């Protein structure tokens, strides 16, 4: 088996896809079958992100979330906030990472690349 897509439920799939496309520096692309939106990395072999419309809003913490590694945590956190994310908490005891929420409340982490080995070793 292999991961086919990372899928999010969304009240406004186009808007949420635009947020993630900008954050990930990818291109959004409408899907052909449903009123959903793919965010596809221009590099072949990357996992696409799919956003599906749902009528209900998010009500609880995600049971699963993406961890995104970055070479410059401070710059990318600021960029995420500028795009509409909200900072939830910051960690820097063992490695550095920041928990954020996207515009629809989905949690994700930005992790300083230099500190990835330290964070994984502490798990």
DSSP E strand stretches across the chain:
6-10, 27-30, 37-40, 49-53, 67-70, 86-91, 97-101, 107-112
Same fold for the pair 1-56 and 65-123: yes
| 1-56 CATH fold | 2,3-Dihydroxybiphenyl 1,2-Dioxygenase; domain 1 (3.10.180)
Contact (Cβ atoms closer than 8 angstroms) between residue 8 and residue 54: no
CATH superfamily of 65-123: 2,3-Dihydroxybiphenyl 1,2-Dioxygenase, domain 1 (3.10.180.10)
113 SS3 class: helix
What pLDDT score was predicted for residue 32?
Answer: 67
Above pLDDT 70, what percent of the chain?
89
- Among residues 77, 49, 67, 73, the alpha carbon closest in space to that of 107 is found at 67
This prediction has a pTM of 0.84
Asked if the model's pLDDT at residue 116 lies above 80, the reply is: no
Domain ranges of the chain: 1-56, 65-123
């Amino acid at each position: 088996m292999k991961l086919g897509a990372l899928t999010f439920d969304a009240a406004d799939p186009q808007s949420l896809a635009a947020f993630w496309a900008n954050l990930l520096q990818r291109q959004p692309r409408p899907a052909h079958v449903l009123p959903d939106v793919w965010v596809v990395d221009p590099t072949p072999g990357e996992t696409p992100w799919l956003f599906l419309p749902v009528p209900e809003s998010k009500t609880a913490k995600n049971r699963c979330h993406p961890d995104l590694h970055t070479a410059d945590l401070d710059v990318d956190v600021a960029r995420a906030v500028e795009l509409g994310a909200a900072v939830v908490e910051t960690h820097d005891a063992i490695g550095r990472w920041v928990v954020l929420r996207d515009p629809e409340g989905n949690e994700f982490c930005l992790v300083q690349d230099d500190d990835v080995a330290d964070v994984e070793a502490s798990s």
